[in-house]
Amino acid sequence: MSLEKMNFKAEFDTDKAVALSLAIRMLTKPVVTFIPGKDIANESALSSALFIEAKEDLEEQFAVLENALKGATPELVAVEGLGVYAIGNTKAEADNKKATLTNGKTVDAPAPSGRVAEKIIIVTGSAQGFGLGIAEELMKDGANVVIADLNVELAKKNADELSAKYGAGKAFAVSVNVSDADSVKAMIDQTVLTFGGLDAFISNAGIVRAGSLDEMTLENFDLVTKVNYNAYFICAKYASKVMKIQNRFNPEYFMDIIQINSKSGLTGSNKNFAYAGSKFGGIGLTQSFALELVPFNIKVNSVCPGNFLDGPLWCDPEKGLFKQYLDAGKVPGAKTVADVKKFYEAKVPMNRGCRPEDVMKAIYYCMEQMYETGQAIPVTGGQNMLK
């Protein structure tokens, strides 16, 4: 097979490449990495590839692909006019097959292991705080994780560190504005072309602007709503689109959309109504999405953590909630940030703030069970109890 016969183009159809990646993954192995035709440097490596003729109509292309893969276990699938898909049981295995085409470096490829071995998971807002803690816990258990954040430099730094610790290529950073539809779609497209699909989308990115009715500006209220509420809809819209394609090729496969909500989504929050309102609304979205997506084996749940009192959201000396709440007078008699922290610790029956490992137990429950959807699970040390 020659590059000339493959008719690869410098500009390829991203939507088609994404759709075929999802189909190939569901019909073959857990990880599929796409290599654009323009990046192929070793033409001789194409000799082992399964060749797929291009079709204009996507439904016809799916049919040709599915028929070609019946009884076949290829390492490479080459699609005319598009590129090549490297297939593996692990990300490292797929990357090593990619390296044969691009003259890149190979890496160690241990067997898959861990509670979420080779699962593909996006965590938004994961450059720091709860999101970073969740991402690392998932990688400890074998997942391939996308560190998605507006602060892309910090995301890249942490993705590199996590990959060095848990396996080359198992984390990568993506710049994303979760309140922008084009940005979210691009993030999901990049995830699929890198890993092959999407098993869980953890919508963690959020923002807080505290203040009384007199102090709150419409600008800040709109900002909180845009990031905490509107963005959850945008993320669920594009995540479910690719998950539905996976369901088409493997109807028994379960997937998850998990919103990291808050205890403030369960109980109102004094002088923090913009945040609480956005989180209450998020639970309404969770319940509604769950009903719509359950036919596709897509579970949708919210996890409602208590306060991560040791995280940057609270502790940042300039923008942290301790500082905001002190300035807003939310804690009567508080003179310092330390007074505010002590006040919030005392509100928790278990006498401490929530931690990423606490949240992970709820996330794993959402992912591993197959008979629950549309729930809001409190993880608050007893501060909030279901009614």
DSSP per residue, 301-317: EEEEE---TTSHHHH-T
Catalytic center residues: 275
CA 213 to chain centre: 34
Quick one: how far is CA 323 from the chain centroid? Answer: 30
Residue 290 CA to residue 285 CA, distance in Å, equals: 8
For 16, 89, 277, the CA distances from 80, given in Å and listed in that order, are 12, 24, 50
Q: Print burial letters for 240-270: b (CB count within 10 Å at least 16), e (below 16).
A: bebbbbbbebeeeebbbbbbbbbbbbbbebe
Separation of alpha carbons 266 and 303, rounded Å: 11
Torsions phi, psi of 193, nearest 5? -70, -20
CA–CA dist 279, 229 (Å, integer): 7
Element (DSSP H or E) covering residue 276: helix 273-293
In angstroms, the CA 181 to CA 238 distance is 8
3-class SS at 144?
strand
C-alpha–C-alpha distance, residues 24 and 65, integer Å: 8
- How many Å apart are CA 12 and CA 16, to the nearest integer? 8
- Kindly state the helix (H) or strand (E) to which residue 149 belongs, with its residue range: strand 144-149
H-state helical runs in 37-143: 58-69, 91-102, 129-140
Residue 16's contacts (CB-CB under 8 Å, 6 or more residues apart) are 58, 61, 82
Q: Are 150 and 226 in contact (CB under 8 A)?
A: no
- Collapsing DSSP to helix, strand or coil, 123 comes out as strand
